[in-house]
Amino acid sequence: MHRVLLTCPPMIGLVDRFQEAFAAAGLDIVVPDFTQIVPEARLIDMVPEYDGWIIGDDPATRAVFTAGVQGRLKAAVKWGVGTDNVDFAACRDLGLPITNTPDVFGREVADLAMHYLLALARETYAIDAGIRAGGWPKPSGISLWNKRAGVVGFGDIGRNTAKRMLAHDLEVVVFDPFVDAAALPEGVSLRDWPNVEDLDFLMFTAPLTPETHHMFDEEVLALVKPGLRLINVGRGPVVAQTAVVAGLESGRIHSTALDVFEIEPLAPDNPLRAYGSRCLFGSHNGSNTQDAVTAVSHKAVKLLAGFLTP
């Protein structure tokens, strides 16, 4: 049996479902005591004791991998799509086999993205809050059929989000330097960033890279159409929080839905909390459905077992 460290909360939440798969793959899974991520110093002590590692959002740094290969570590899999917390270059340098599980959550995250867009359009979050407070609010929302939405990033999540937008009669424009305009579906057009002046909605589905870090900042905020509804289901640092706060304060941003933040979890004194029902918050949970977690977890087990028992 190969001893494997599991530090991925969504997979841990359903871990009993995968015991048969673990056993069939010859994996002895160990779940440490932690909440969202395991700190780097603790990982440096723990990882060398395992043959494999299924990584969540932990700081999978060069120091951790170096310590790992000096011990028992032979392979790792980053559960899910995002890889900004994993030093893949260090793994290459160390000769450590590693992969993520790409193109697996597009539909799930896109479902949540569309939920956020509809909630901002019809202000359902404000209605709910008002009713719970004893009122009976009836804010006048906006229709979708005559509106334009921008999607930043046209990978798996972006493509699935655009499909859902088109079904709601939105005009969709895409910002992605790696996309061929000729390959876009009917009803979707390509633009250069940051041509955002005529957008009613701006949706971020992009991964975090040096190029996307703070791509929405105060300079871009100055370009947007007043009353913009902004949504981020990609990675928190793609959108500068200072720009969001400034936009909410000035009114250039009507409201925002953020499933991800620059620093997670959201601190009790975070300035975004001051804007009440104009901010709809998530907990970086866009991919977390039982169906998707089950499918991706089985994929992660298969990939890791392939590395460990070629």
Catalytic residues: 235, 264, 284
Say if CB 114 and CB 161 are below 8 A apart: yes
Q: ∠ CA 299-302-307 to the nearest 5 degrees?
A: 130
Beta-bridge mates of residue 228: 253
Which residue has tokens 């876009």?
184
Cα–Cα distance measured from residue 210 to residue 204, given in angstroms and rounded to the nearest whole number: 16
Taking CA atoms, 179 is separated from 31, 149, 173, 244, 264, in Å, by 40, 17, 12, 27, 30
Contact (CB, 8 A) for 287 and 108 = yes
CA-wise closest residue to 219 among 186, 193, 201 = 193
One-character DSSP codes across 88-116: HHHHHHHT--EEE--SSSHHHHHHHHHHH
133's tokens: 């407070």
Encoded tokens for 30: 């160990």
Report d(CA 238, CA 141) in Å as an integer: 27
